Amino acid sequence: MTAKATRDTQHVLITGGAGFIGSHLTDRLLSECARVTVVDDLSTGNPRNLTDAERKPGFNFIHGRISDCAKLESIVAEIDQVIHLAAAVGVDLVVREPVRTLETNLHETEVLLKAAAAKRKPVLLASTSEVYGKSSKEVFAEGDDLLIGPPTHYRWSYACSKLMDEFLALAYAKERALPVVITRLFNTVGPRQSGRYGMVLPRFVQAALNNQPLRIFGDGQQSRCFCSVHDCVEALLRLARTPAASGQIFNIGNTSEITIADLAHLVISTLNSKSALEFVPYSEAYEPGFEDMRRRKPCVEKLFQTTRFRPQTNLPEIIRQIASCQA
């Protein structure tokens, strides 16, 4: 079952729409005959992701940052829904360019929320599981306390900036009656995702296809839950189209847990690769003192109760989908 398109043609503004998740969301909406306006500065997005979209009626692309968009007010006045995906992405980028991370995640969100609030346009804000920080809980639920690491470790700048985005969005909801839905994404993966900024699964798949070593950072016993981008898009749209979701926070992710070492073995076996494993200390991969979470598993009961949807694509199928695009 898929999310139902609205009867009237919907016009959606997607920030970061040339990125991995944004481009899949764009394609999905256009397939439902919606109109889509994408704003993206292409700092991490890829124009090739929008090749199919550019051939569709109702698609409009604006190259630039949200804060530099001179027509932002008039664009927001014309659209029905904002889906805010634009953000600094990837652990590599966050650690190496903390100023860019903070400025992108904080300032661009502030500008967008202000414009949306002026016209009372509903906003779906994509946040991240990183906001759960260093918590040792086995499963993360939306109402949990959050434990962020110290500011001397740059990886936490991303978590902190996205958490401030959440606070700001909910403040606009409270003070200015802005309809807001916040989603915390857990390790979304699939075709078009780049390993350029440290994303583990596309790195593994590309190495396996080339029969090169799969580089595992740390001891490989840290575990994650990987969610298909197609499942993520379905969840995003259902939440955007559910009035009862307004003003709330929702986890989006698969609940099938796997260690990074086992993930590497699964990639190798699924793709019949001859690759070996190579373990790399965190200090060499990122920076001295780098902190990682041993587990990150979402509770998605709130998502199910609100939308009747659970992410469900299995990991071998996701691996094959990624490989088909990289081969």
What amino acid positions are annotated as catalytic residues?
158
Rounded to an integer, what distance in angstroms lies between the CA atom of residue 293 and that of residue 96? Answer: 19
DSSP state for residue 242 in the 8-state scheme? -
| CB contact set of 250 (below 8 Å; sequence gap of 6+) | 142, 181, 182, 183, 184, 235, 239, 302, 303, 306
Secondary structure class of 296 (helix, strand, coil): coil
| 227 close to 217: Cβ distance less than 8 angstroms | no
The H or E element spanning position 224 is strand 223-225
Best CA proximity match to 16, nearest among 83, 78, 114, 70: 83
Block residue for tokens 């939308």: 307
| 31 close to 54: Cβ distance less than 8 angstroms | no
Best CA proximity match to 191, nearest among 58, 54, 63, 46: 46
Angle CA(121)–CA(108)–CA(127) in degrees, nearest 5?
75
CA-CA-CA-CA dihedral for 150, 151, 154, 155, to nearest 10: 40
DSSP state for residue 147 in the 8-state scheme? B
